[in-house]
Amino acid sequence: MIKIENMETFIVEKDNPELKDSILIEGLPGVGLVGKIAVDYMISELKAKKFADLYSPYMPHQALIKGKSELELIKNEFYYYKGKKDMIFLAGEAQAVDIFGHYEIASKVLDYVEKYDVKSIFTLGGFATKEAGDRVFGAVTDPEMVKEYDNLGITFMKDGSIVGAAGLLLGIGKLRGIKGTCLLGECPGYLVSPKAAKAVLKVVTEIFGIRISFKKLDERVKKTEEFLKNIKMLEGTEEEKIKEDYIG
């Protein structure tokens, strides 16, 4: 039996894998759901194994109904993959709803993964522009790291800010001596963007020498583009007719 005490963020372990020189890759819900789509896809393609759940009173105050009417608290999940590089994936259904919660959850995550010998952190997300392009924007905790990715086509940002887990995990990690990289896929921002997720994934897989199939993701990209095309068509026909009927 698990008890929630002192209203603090806590982690429930399901396994205790042996990992060495591991990498933490975060992809929680955010702009365009880019990070979430990317990390969920990697977990699926690599058949990563779940080993822990994180619960927090700073997440949305609701429980989700899944499957056969089963109800569960919102949580973040830890998965691991052992390959050329041992990897820990942080996935989940939500981020914190306030500033204090963001800091606490990020700190708890780092406290936990440090025991798995995490040497670097990659956070994935979306960067809102007016287009659904193929560009990937980046930021690092050490300027010298830019040279490592010089040939990957990343547009490194010179100013701005990165909010939520994608920024705080790197910022707090830097204070602990853990190097970090943020990769953001270009997207409109107001719609789910699997295209941006694919652009980010292509960079991540190249960095780590991982081979995965993009077939399922390509199908999702195609469906999204067809949806956007239909929306644009409606804007020039039915929407105009509605306006005329309303004004007339």
Q: Where are the domains of the chain?
A: 10-212, 216-248
Q: Residue 133: is its pLDDT beyond 80? A: no
- Give 242's pLDDT tier (boundaries 50, 70, 90): very low
Arithmetic mean of pLDDT, 48-72: 93
Q: Which CATH superfamily is domain 10-212 in?
A: PAC-like subunit (3.40.50.10900)
- Give 246's pLDDT tier (boundaries 50, 70, 90): very low
- Per residue in 197-221, pLDDT (tens digit) is 999 999 999 999 999 999 999 999 9
Q: Residue 190: is its pLDDT beyond 80? A: no
**What is the pLDDT at residue 230?**
76
Q: Residue 241: is its pLDDT beyond 60? A: no
Q: Residue 234: is its pLDDT beyond 80? A: no
Using a pLDDT cut of 90, give the percent of the chain over it: 79
Q: Residue 88: is its pLDDT beyond 80? A: yes
Arithmetic mean of pLDDT, 39-53: 98
The three-state DSSP-derived secondary structure of the chain is CCCCCCCCCEEEECCCCCCCCEEEEECCCCHHHHHHHHHHHHHHHHCCEEEEEEECCCCCCCEEEECCCEEEECCEEEEEECCCCCEEEEEECCCCCCHHHHHHHHHHHHHHHHHHCEEEEEEEEEEECCCCCCCEEEEECCHHHHHHHCCCCEEECCCCCCCCHHHHHHHHHHHCCCEEEEEEEEECCCCCCHHHHHHHHHHHHHHHCCCCCCHHHHHHHHHHHHHHHHHHHHHHCHHHHHHHHHHC
Arithmetic mean of pLDDT, 145-174: 95
Arithmetic mean of pLDDT, 175-186: 97
Arithmetic mean of pLDDT, 220-227: 86
Q: Residue 12: is its pLDDT beyond 50? A: yes
The per-residue pLDDT of the chain, averaged, comes to 91
Q: Residue 82: is its pLDDT beyond 90? A: yes
Q: Residue 104: is its pLDDT beyond 90? A: yes
